[in-house]
Chain A
Amino acid sequence: MGEIPEKHVGEAGSHKQHISSTASLPDQVGNVGRRTMEELVEDICASQGKTQLSLGPLEKVYVFWLAGMSCDGCTVSVSGATEPALEDLLTGSIPGVPLVILHHYVLQLEAGDHYMRTLELAEQGKLDGPYVITYEGSIPDENLTVGGEPFAGEGSLPLFAPSEERRRVSTAEWIKRLAPGAAATIAIGTCATWGGIPAAYGNVTGSMSVMDWLGKDYRSALGLPVINIPGCAPVGDNFTDAVQAILLFLQGLGPLPEMDELGRPVWQFGETVHRKCGRAGYYEEGTFATEYGDKECLVEVGCWGPVVQCNITEKGAISHMGGCMNAGGPCIGCTMPGFPDKFAPFYKAPPGSTVSSNASRLMGSIIRPLRRISQRERNREIRWHDTVPSGWAMEQGDTSITHKILEFFYERMQFLGSNRPGRDLPEEKYPTGYRSLPKQVYGENYQVLPEERAEKAAKNNK
């Protein structure tokens, strides 16, 4: 593992089979491996031999990751993804899923014009496979920078030209150039999906989302509007999960990945984060955190979970671990189009909670005591009657008459229409068949503790 076949290395022109062969270009500045990441991936795959079995029409897909007004947080999140893992997608290691050739400024081997050249080839339709664009960050309104450098620039054109002849190209321009030919356009993170923080009140750069920039009528080469995977930062697995689902569908293997009216994968964003929150039970019982660090429901210290579509409490943040409310962080709605202004100021209870949390407080005041009574009984073995033989137990034999009465009716209801375990009803067809043997052997009072049985035996002997 790790060794790249030597014949491919350092020999100019040895990549004739690649359309993006870079070693023979007139200038090598930035091409430190004398081949691009795309060429390197092909070399790695070639070193593993030819594949015989084909599981679908697609062999490889290029993914161009562009960033505008971004913090790189989406990139960082996706680098943590394990369902599937980023490195497995990028090395074609998942059966049925085409090789994903990721063109990403944070990971790319080459820099400068050699890096930008692949984008130009994509625009010109010269790649040997379909491409997807993934955009991270919001898109600034570059009309505001006319005559100056763009707010968000990536690369300069024309390639390989002297610096005085070049102009820096905005990422907004790149997306306009690449979106029409893309098989799909995926906006990742809340900046790209809805505008996010750069587009909040006070927005000086005219920032907006990819949908806002491309318009309602935009359709990709496959006829798809923009796919949105929100979150600030998004759960990294939501991205790789969606990409794998889409690719498996295109291969004719997976089911149709359903999107909602805002282009979000339904299976990821169809539920509110509160529904699967580990603290939702506290809400139901009407108990709320009053201080940061408390274990109860966080609504009254600023959590918007009940109205926010997100899956982090279920999916976790990374490797199925963490998640905002799971750890104690109130939800500030970072997956939602209204983020941040419609959730500000943070740490303040959402106004709607005044009605709903008081309603659940009222409801909880009834439910809670009832649950504690039945919970107490569920904490007893069937052979504990008056004694709990635990050295840890604070009180023993504390069963009150009221409790006994309540439990009597509770048990009736519990087994209403069904049989109690250890049944002797209905009449057994086979006398030795289902009879509960211990009862036969030990008699009626077999379900008691050894101590109790010894006492009873002593009594009987007398």
Chain B
Amino acid sequence: MCFKNLPIEFDAQGVASLKGGVADPYAYQPREIKRDKLEELMARNGHIKDVSISPVTRVAGALSFHAVADLQEKKFLEANSVATIFRGYEVILKGRDPRDAIYISSRACGVCGGVHSTAACEAIEMAFGISPPPLGTVLRNLALALDFLYDHPLHLFLLAGPDYSQVVVQATNPAMWEKAQVTDAPNAEVHQFKTIGDIMKGLNPLSGKLYLDGLKMTRVPREAYSVLFGKYPHPQTVVPGGMSSTVTITDFNETYTRLQKMMDWTKRMILLWDDLTEFFYEYNPEYKKVGARDANMIDLGMWDDEYSYDASYARCNEWGEARWATPGVVMNGELVTTKLQQINLGLEEFVEHSYYEDWTQNGNIRFQTDPAGSPLSPNHPWNKETMPKPSKESWKDRYTWDTAPRWDRQVVEAGCYARIWTTAAARKMPKNQFMESTGHSLKFHMPKTMLPEMDFEWKIPKIWNAFERNRARAYCMGYNLMIGYTMVLKAFDLLRQGEDKVSTKFEVPKGERIGVGFWGAGRGYLSHHLVLDKGAIVNYQIVTPSTFNASPRDPFGNPGPYEEAVLNTPILEDFDKPSDFTGVDMLRAIRSFDPCMPCTTHIYGGEKEIIREVNTCACDAEG
């Protein structure tokens, strides 16, 4: 029984139905945000500081953050995550030929290059009733492994990295910098940075070796990606029913060489992030609370098994569990489900604190059940009709263009760490020579390169915080790399068998069809929900990892993951007077999620016209 809050129960065969005797099963009473006490406190106390960071830099896209800090108690009293852009991608998709969805939705986000096109592709395949030939699936998996091999280093060394650099540590915790310079790095022999101070110097923007090498290494997987899929971002070879890549031995060899190049560097970097993390914990155990949250996470899995994946909703539990990353929901550190249908049923989106109107009020609920006959919430993406309502920012009311997606009405976070966590816990990974899911860890073996062969083990951590997110991201580099390597070997094997077909023929169906792409981005969970009719898109909904992570409070009063992480963060930086406070601990907490705003706030599905007001102009821009 995976649901605690939703009115769904399962019989002995696992068939879902609504709990009997409940009149309006999905109804809820939204809780108001109370701020009176806080406002009173702010008026009274000089050490309560209103902190507004607009924009939060070193994240992808437009994010602002508002917080109230108690500089005496060294903690945060309020936190608001604010998405400041809205583009309306789904209305652009509405009424279009479904074939357009792949390349248009791809442009929802250019940070992970091909995740949206692939998710759209899987949604279309479900709706069209087609699936790729084995080599098509293997190529798709390879693309998404290469994608993250660029994406994770970008975050670790260019976005989050500078927060742990000499420049920042010396400015915000001078004593720690002193200590770091005389602390030997335990894995120096492998990564070649003698002290923790050397690592911190390496992370200095634009001059540190780790920063510059990190930037250069992000190009290596992108080169292989471009050879196989045309370009990065927005690959040009994603087609319904497979890929359109013309593969040659040269393409695979060039990819192989680049994976080998990444292998050596990845071995070093995993151990380097281990050393940095342990140093912060030892220097001050309070750092374990930076960005801390209960381990509640969600992932849809990815990297399909080439023989199991058939794109059907009926069999998605089976092909989902056969994936190289297992789908799952983790609640308080425990895996509660690995079934895609259950994960899908638990999904709801709320807009009480976002600049949208609630679509459930107009009574037009499209689907009462999913294609398998299980009950579906009016707040589920297949039923979503979001109507934008540009309003004034108010911490008590609406304050973001992001919505609040929840699972079983609980706050879950998404990330590559969620993916490695569910995979490690589920013990469902296909048998192979390099990786093993043990139930409490993910082990992977990396072959000899310049460095000898090495074994790594990412253990499911007892605590969950900013440092563990970054550490898991470093381990994910190794995990993704071995997925990529496995896929090249699989592709070779298929070619040896003469299986060189990469696509399937398709026709656009005319009837009403429904589809969902369950997939993953560099930052975790990604779903595209699609409804077709008469050969055109009638509804298209995207839920991304940062839609979860950057979400505002929900109607049940729970803050979103960034907000909760900041509320749990102690203020550990040194400052003499309140005006010297920089907020570095809070920024470390936010950045550890690897925020990606472009795809967070594309959402729009409504028909409502916005009335243009020409008399007043608040933006001055036309003046």
Within 8 A of A (CB), among B150-196: 154, 158-159, 162-163, 165-168, 170-172, 174
Are B616 and A147 in contact (CB-based, < 8 A)?
Answer: yes
Q: Apart from A112-B55, A152-B62, what 8 extra A-B contacts exist at CB < 8 Å? A: A146-B619, A147-B390, A147-B616, A156-B54, A170-B619, A176-B620, A292-B244, A312-B231
Query: Known: A111-B58, A233-B231, A340-B104. Contact between A69 and B621, CB under 8 A?
Result: no
Residue ID in chain B nearest A313 by CB atoms: B230
Write the B238-258 contact mask toward A (1 if CB under 8 angstroms, else 0): 011011111100010010000
User: Separation in Å of the B53 CB from the closest CB of chain A?
Assistant: 4
Residue B584 at the chain A interface, CB threshold 8 Å: yes
Query: Known: A115-B55, A319-B219. Contact between A340 and B233, CB under 8 A?
Result: no
Are A32 and B244 in contact (CB-based, < 8 A)?
Answer: no
- A90 to B355 CA separation, bound complex (whole angstroms): 38
Residue ID in chain A nearest B202 by CB atoms: A2
Residue B320 at the chain A interface, CB threshold 8 Å: no
- A324 to B401 CA separation, bound complex (whole angstroms): 34
Write the A317-330 contact mask toward B (1 if CB under 8 angstroms, else 0): 11101111111111
Among A27, A71, A116, A140, which residue has the most Cβ atoms of chain B within 10 A? A71
Bin the interface of chain B by size. Answer: 35 or more
User: Separation in Å of the A159 CB from the closest CB of chain B?
Assistant: 10
27 of the cross-chain contacts (CB-CB < 8 Å) are A26-B579, A30-B587, A32-B583, A32-B584, A34-B582, A70-B110, A80-B222, A87-B212, A91-B206, A106-B159, A109-B162, A111-B55, A111-B56, A149-B392, A150-B390, A163-B50, A170-B621, A173-B620, A232-B107, A232-B234, A233-B233, A318-B226, A322-B226, A322-B232, A329-B231, A345-B97, A346-B102
- A89 to B599 CA separation, bound complex (whole angstroms): 29
User: Separation in Å of the B291 CB from the closest CB of chain A?
Assistant: 15
Residue ID in chain B nearest A344 by CB atoms: B100
Query: Known: A10-B174, A112-B55. Contact between A345 and B612, CB under 8 A?
Result: no
Are A111 and B57 in contact (CB-based, < 8 A)?
Answer: yes
- A60 to B211 CA separation, bound complex (whole angstroms): 23
Residue ID in chain A nearest B215 by CB atoms: A87
Are B66 and A163 in contact (CB-based, < 8 A)?
Answer: yes
Are A202 and B610 in contact (CB-based, < 8 A)?
Answer: no
- A329 to B247 CA separation, bound complex (whole angstroms): 12
User: Separation in Å of the A39 CB from the closest CB of chain B?
Assistant: 10
Within 8 A of B (CB), among A11-67: 26-35, 37, 40-41, 44, 67
Are A73 and B233 in contact (CB-based, < 8 A)?
Answer: yes
Chain B residues, CB < 8 A from A388: none
Among B66, B102, B229, which residue has the most Cβ atoms of chain A within 10 A? B229
Are B53 and A29 in contact (CB-based, < 8 A)?
Answer: yes
Are B505 and A291 in contact (CB-based, < 8 A)?
Answer: yes
Chain A residues, CB < 8 A from B84: 149-150, 152-154, 168
Residue ID in chain A nearest B233 by CB atoms: A73
User: Separation in Å of the B235 CB from the closest CB of chain A?
Assistant: 7
Chain B residues, CB < 8 A from A277: none
Query: Known: A2-B209, A330-B236. Contact between A168 and B167, CB under 8 A?
Result: no
Chain A interfacial positions (CB closer than 8 Å to B): 1-4, 6, 9-10, 26-35, 37, 40-41, 44, 67-77, 79-80, 82, 86-87, 90-91, 105-113, 115-116, 140, 142-156, 162-163, 166-170, 172-173, 176, 196-198, 200-205, 207, 232-233, 235, 291-295, 298, 301, 312, 316-319, 321-332, 334, 340, 344-348
Are B100 and A345 in contact (CB-based, < 8 A)?
Answer: yes
Are A204 and B223 in contact (CB-based, < 8 A)?
Answer: no
Chain B residues, CB < 8 A from A232: 107, 234
Residue ID in chain B nearest A163 by CB atoms: B52
Chain B residues, CB < 8 A from A140: 87
- A153 to B239 CA separation, bound complex (whole angstroms): 34
Closest 5 CB pairs of A and B: A73-B110, A322-B226, A329-B236, A148-B390, A292-B244
Are B206 and A90 in contact (CB-based, < 8 A)?
Answer: yes
Query: Known: A111-B55, A233-B110. Contact between A79 and B86, CB under 8 A?
Result: no
Residue B93 at the chain A interface, CB threshold 8 Å: yes
- A175 to B501 CA separation, bound complex (whole angstroms): 49
Residue B555 at the chain A interface, CB threshold 8 Å: no
Chain B residues, CB < 8 A from A40: 167, 205-206
User: Separation in Å of the B251 CB from the closest CB of chain A?
Assistant: 8
Residue B393 at the chain A interface, CB threshold 8 Å: yes
Query: Known: A156-B54, A293-B246, A348-B99. Contact between A79 and B215, CB under 8 A?
Result: yes
Query: Known: A73-B234, A155-B55, A327-B230. Contact between A204 and B610, CB under 8 A?
Result: yes
Write the B324-343 contact mask toward A (1 if CB under 8 angstroms, else 0): 00000000000000000000
Query: Known: A148-B390, A203-B88, A346-B99. Contact between A71 and B232, CB under 8 A?
Result: no
- A29 to B96 CA separation, bound complex (whole angstroms): 46
- A3 to B55 CA separation, bound complex (whole angstroms): 28
Are B587 and A153 in contact (CB-based, < 8 A)?
Answer: no
Q: Which of A68, A107, A328 contacts B205 (CB 8 A)?
A: A107
Chain B interfacial positions (CB closer than 8 Å to A): 50-62, 64, 66, 84-89, 91-97, 99-100, 102-104, 107-111, 113, 154, 158-159, 162-163, 165-168, 170-172, 174, 201-202, 204-212, 215, 218-219, 222-223, 225-237, 239-240, 242-247, 251, 254, 355, 388-393, 401, 500-503, 505, 575, 579-584, 587, 596, 598-599, 604, 610, 612-614, 616-623
- A192 to B237 CA separation, bound complex (whole angstroms): 24
Are A318 and B246 in contact (CB-based, < 8 A)?
Answer: no
Are B622 and A205 in contact (CB-based, < 8 A)?
Answer: no
Residue ID in chain A nearest B501 by CB atoms: A293
Query: Known: A1-B209, A87-B212. Contact between A71 and B109, CB under 8 A?
Result: yes
Are A324 and B207 in contact (CB-based, < 8 A)?
Answer: no
Q: Which of A30, A200, A293, A323 contacts B583 (CB 8 A)?
A: A30
- A172 to B549 CA separation, bound complex (whole angstroms): 27
Are B215 and A202 in contact (CB-based, < 8 A)?
Answer: no
Q: Which of A10, A72, A197, A298 contacts B61 (CB 8 A)?
A: A72
User: Separation in Å of the A102 CB from the closest CB of chain B?
Assistant: 10
Are A322 and B230 in contact (CB-based, < 8 A)?
Answer: yes
User: Separation in Å of the B614 CB from the closest CB of chain A?
Assistant: 7
Q: Which of A9, A147, A291, A317 contacts B392 (CB 8 A)?
A: A147
Are B89 and A197 in contact (CB-based, < 8 A)?
Answer: yes
Residue ID in chain B nearest A295 by CB atoms: B246
Are B246 and A327 in contact (CB-based, < 8 A)?
Answer: yes
Chain A residues, CB < 8 A from B391: 147-149
Chain A residues, CB < 8 A from B246: 293-295, 327-328
- A184 to B148 CA separation, bound complex (whole angstroms): 35
Are A205 and B392 in contact (CB-based, < 8 A)?
Answer: no
Are B223 and A86 in contact (CB-based, < 8 A)?
Answer: no
Are B204 and A2 in contact (CB-based, < 8 A)?
Answer: yes
Chain B residues, CB < 8 A from A327: 226-231, 236-237, 245-246, 251
Q: Which of B94, B207, B254 contacts A202 (CB 8 A)?
A: B94
Query: Known: A74-B110, A76-B233, A292-B239. Contact between A2 and B208, CB under 8 A?
Result: yes
Q: Which of A82, A152, A204 contacts B219 (CB 8 A)?
A: A82
Are A197 and B171 in contact (CB-based, < 8 A)?
Answer: no
Q: Which of B89, B215, B225, B244 contacts A328 (CB 8 A)?
A: B244
Are B201 and A2 in contact (CB-based, < 8 A)?
Answer: yes
Query: Known: A10-B174, A155-B54, A346-B102. Contact between A80 and B218, CB under 8 A?
Result: yes
Are B598 and A70 in contact (CB-based, < 8 A)?
Answer: yes
Query: Known: A76-B110, A146-B613, A146-B618. Contact between A301 and B206, CB under 8 A?
Result: no
Are B97 and A147 in contact (CB-based, < 8 A)?
Answer: no
Residue ID in chain B nearest A202 by CB atoms: B92
Query: Known: A202-B94, A345-B99. Contact between A323 and B226, CB under 8 A?
Result: yes
Are B219 and A32 in contact (CB-based, < 8 A)?
Answer: no
Are A149 and B234 in contact (CB-based, < 8 A)?
Answer: no
Query: Known: A72-B110, A73-B234. Contact between A44 and B207, CB under 8 A?
Result: yes
Residue ID in chain A nearest B151 by CB atoms: A76
Chain B residues, CB < 8 A from A298: 244
User: Separation in Å of the B364 CB from the closest CB of chain A?
Assistant: 19
Are A346 and B622 in contact (CB-based, < 8 A)?
Answer: no
Q: Which of A149, A291, A316, A345 contacts B401 (CB 8 A)?
A: A149
